[in-house]
């Protein structure tokens, strides 16, 4: 009678270098991770400034440019590493179907989040003092809410790609 431990000890280990992920799936993972690593702290900081009533165009513009430059540099480095470690495959029908589905879901997330965020923001203004309504509907805050909608749509695109690649669709 053989022990089950013997079989477990002989199982091959899976590392990133010999994983079965395609280069597009690795790229989606990297892009999602970088985007979340950059924009989650960005939005936490921006909405904290809004709570403290310190949100103005100069601050937002500087923070936004810094976040975009940081994201671009990180994406360049990560994609260079991915290009060195894995070979690029030709796009097939499956990749095109996954890309199409991910764009459709991202568009739906963008439209629905914009249709929900702005009316909710204006709805929050009812029952507040007139000065608070002006602060809630300021162009600076509305621009950041729209940017949040775009980032959510992009995250939905990458998540859809990852789910489809993992599911095999």
pTM comes to 0.77
Q: What is the pLDDT of residue 87?
A: 80
Closest CA to 79 of 68, 71, 90: 71
CA triple 157-105-120, angle to 5 deg: 100
As averages over each run of 10 residues, the pLDDT of the chain (169 residues) reads 48 48 90 97 93 88 96 96 86 91 96 84 56 61 91 97 87
Q: What average pLDDT is seen over the chain? A: 83
The answer to whether the CB of 102 falls within 8 A of the CB of 153 is no
Q: What is the pLDDT of residue 123?
A: 62
């Amino acid at each position: 009678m053989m022990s089950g431990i013997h079989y477990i000890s002989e199982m091959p280990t899976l590392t990133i270098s010999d994983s079965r992920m395609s280069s597009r799936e690795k790229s989606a993972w990297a892009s999602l991770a970088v985007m979340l690593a950059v924009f989650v702290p960005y939005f936490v900081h921006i909405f904290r400034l809004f709570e403290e009533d310190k949100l103005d165009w100069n601050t937002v513009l500087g923070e936004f440019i810094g976040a975009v430059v940081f994201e671009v540099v990180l994406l360049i480095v990560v994609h260079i590493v991915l290009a060195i470690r894995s070979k690029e495959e030709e796009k097939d029908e499956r990749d095109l179907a996954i890309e199409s589905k991910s764009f459709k879901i991202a568009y739906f997330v963008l439209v629905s989040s914009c249709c929900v965020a702005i009316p909710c923001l204006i709805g929050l203004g009812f029952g507040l003092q007139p000065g608070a309504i002006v602060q809630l509907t300021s162009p600076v805050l509305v621009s950041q809410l729209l940017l949040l909608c775009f980032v959510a749509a992009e995250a939905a695109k990458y998540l859809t790609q990852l789910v489809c690649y993992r599911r095999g669709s």
